[in-house]
């Protein structure tokens, strides 16, 4: 018999009793599928004001900005919020007001043509942390 160990963002589990032929019980397979699916689920953080500054718990989330007026989402410096390198945060402009992505003090946001506004209601973009205070912004931006 072999042992399989797998780790998700939320836990680590070991499955014992797997045969040398790599057969896994239906119950164990369902548990693995559930854990793998959890890796791809991104919870929402719904914002309705005109300003919002990202916090550490926004990592791997979808931040929706829902306001009829122009609104701003600020990426804070690493000295304030130390997101790990490779962090991805999805941003969706849910409201009619243009969502602008702003760089906090010392932060650089690299994007195509220097664009920092989501280009329409329901447009989305992804922030990706590349360096200590360096991010990419990719998506539906203008």
Q: Please, where in the chain does CATH 2.60.120 lie? A: 44-139
pTM of the complete model: 0.75
DSSP state of 141: B
Tokens of 27: 């119950």
Q: Read off the pLDDT of residues 8-59 as tens digits, 9 standing for 90 and up.
A: 555 666 655 555 556 667 777 777 766 666 666 789 999 999 999 999 999 9
| CATH (one of 1.10.3470, 1.10.10, 2.40.128, 2.60.120) for 44-139 | 2.60.120
SS3 of residue 132 by DSSP: coil
Q: Which residue has the tokens 């931040």?
A: 63
**What is the Cβ-side half-sphere exposure of residue 73, based on CA atoms within 13 angstroms?**
33
Q: Read off the pLDDT of residues 54-101 as tens digits, 9 standing for 90 and up.
A: 999 999 999 999 999 999 999 999 999 999 999 999 999 999 999 999
């Amino acid at each position: 018999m072999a042992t399989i160990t797998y780790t998700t963002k939320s836990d680590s589990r070991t499955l014992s009793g797997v045969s040398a032929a790599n057969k896994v019980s239906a119950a164990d397979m369902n548990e693995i599928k559930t854990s793998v699916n959890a890796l791809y689920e991104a919870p929402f953080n719904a914002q309705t004001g005109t300003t919002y500054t990202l916090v550490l718990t926004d990592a791997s989330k979808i931040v929706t900005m829902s306001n009829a007026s122009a609104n701003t989402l600020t990426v804070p410096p690493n000295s304030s919020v130390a997101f790990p390198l490779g962090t991805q945060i999805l941003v969706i402009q849910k409201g009619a007001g243009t969502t602008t992505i702003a760089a906090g003090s010392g932060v650089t946001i690299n994007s195509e043509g220097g664009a920092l506004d989501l280009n329409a209601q329901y447009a989305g973009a992804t922030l990706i942390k590349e360096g200590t205070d360096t991010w990419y912004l990719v998506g539906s931006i203008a």
